[in-house]
Amino acid sequence: MSKPIKFIHTADIHLGRELSVNGLNHSENENLFRTAGKRAFENLVKLAVSREVDFILIAGDLYDREARSVKASRFFLEKAEELQEKDIDLFLISGNHDPAGVENEIFELPANVHYFSSEEVETFEYQKAGRLAARIIGQSYRQKFESRTMYNYYTAADNSVFNIGLLHTALTKDNSRYVPVNKGELLSKKEIDYWALGHIHQFEQLNKKPAVYFSGTLQAHNISEEGQKGAILVEVDSNLKSIEEFIPLAPVIYRQLEIDLTAEDLNNISQLQSLLQQRIEELRDKINRQNKKQEFAAEAVIIRLLLKGRTELHRHVENNSEELEETLLAEFRRSNFNQSPGCWLHSIIFRTAKSLPELAELRNSNPLYKNLEALISDILAEEELNQELLAEWGEIWQGTQDPEDRENHKFYPDQKLQQEIMAEAKRIIISELIEDGD
Partner 1 sequence: MHYKKIYIRDFGIFNNQNLDDISNKLVVIGGKNRAGKSSFLKLLRYLPYGLPQDNSIPPAASNYYIEAELEKENTSYNLSLEGFSKPRVLDEKQREHSAVELFNQLDQLTYQHLFSISLDELQHLSKIAGGKKKEKRLYSILLGAGFSELVRVPELADKYYNRAVDTGGKRGDPSVADFKPYYNQIREAEDDRDEALLEVKEFSNKREELLKKQSSLQKLNEKIESVENEYILIDLLKNNYSELQEIEAVEQKLKRAVSGISSSRSVEPDQAETKTENLNQQKKLNELISFFEQNKLINKFKQKEEALKERIKNYQLQKEKLAGVRQQLLLELESLNSSWEGGLQQLNNIELDLIKEQKLNLKLKDYENLNSDLEKIESQIKRLKNDERDLSQELEAVEFRKPGTVLKQSYLILAVSILTLGSSFLINLNQLRYLSLIIALAAFFYYSSSYKTSQLEKEKADKLKKEKELKQRELAQLEQNLAKKTELLEELEKELGSYAQILGIKEDEYRSFLASYYREIRDKQRRYQELKNEEKVHFSNKAELLKTLQELKTIIKNTAQNCDLEFSAAAEVDLIKNQQDLFGDFELIKDLKALTDQYLTKKNQLKHTLKASEKIKNALTEINQEQSYYQIFINFYQQFPTAAAVEAEKESLSLELSNLKAEKGKLEENITTLKNRINELSTSTRIEKAQQKIDLAQTKLEKKAQDYALNQSVSFILKKLRAKMIEKAEEELLKPASKIMKRISSGHYSQLKTASDLEQRDFRIITAKNKEEKQTKELSQGSLEQLFLAVRLSRIKEINPPLPLVLDDSLVNFDRSHLYNTAELLAELAGSHQIFILSCHPHLISFISRLTDSAQYWKLDSGRFELSSAQQLIAHLNN
Helix, strand, coil abundance in the chain, percent, nearest 5: 35, 25, 40
Total of residues contacting partner 1 (CB under 8 A):
61
Indicate whether 220 belongs to the interface with partner 1 (CB under 8 A).
no
Kindly identify the residues of this chain, within the stretch 59-88, that bind partner 1 according to CB under 8 A. Answer: 66-71, 73-74
Of the candidate residues 50, 319, 408, 415, the single one contacting partner 1 (CB under 8 A): 408
Kindly tell me which of 49 and 425 has the beta carbon lying closer to partner 1. 425
Kindly tell me which of 75 and 153 has the beta carbon lying closer to partner 1. 75
Task: List Cβ<8 Å contacts ≥24 apart for 38-41.
Answer: 38/75, 39/219, 39/251, 40/13, 40/218, 40/219, 40/229, 40/249, 40/250, 40/251, 41/13, 41/15, 41/75, 41/76, 41/79, 41/218
Instruction: Determine which helix (DSSP H) or strand (DSSP E) holds 113, and give its type and residue range.
Output: strand 113-115
Kindly tell me which of 275 and 434 has the beta carbon lying closer to partner 1. 434
Considering only 110-118, 243-251, 310-318, 423-431, which stretch makes contact with partner 1 by CB under 8 A? Answer: 423-431
Of the candidate residues 4, 6, 34, 84, the single one contacting partner 1 (CB under 8 A): 34
Q: How far apart are CA 377 and CA 381, in angstroms?
A: 6
Q: What is the DSSP letter of 433?
A: I
Of the candidate residues 8, 11, 15, 21, the single one contacting partner 1 (CB under 8 A): 21
Q: How far is the CB of 320 from partner 1 (least distance, A)?
A: 13
Q: Is 261 left (phi over 0), alpha (psi -120 to 50) or beta?
A: alpha
DSSP 20-89: P-S-S--HHHHHHHHTHHHHHHHHHHHHHHHTT-SEEEEES-SB-GGG--HHHHHHHHHHHHHHHHTT-E
Q: How far is the CB of 234 from partner 1 (least distance, A)?
A: 33
Contact pattern from residue 228 through residue 267 relative to partner 1, giving x for each residue in contact according to CB under 8 A and a dash for the rest: ----------------------------------------
- Site residues (CB under 8 A) for partner 1? 16-18, 20-24, 34, 66-71, 73-74, 104, 106, 222, 322, 346-347, 349, 365-368, 371-372, 375-376, 379, 385, 388-389, 392-397, 408-411, 413, 417, 421-422, 424-426, 428-429, 432-434, 436-438
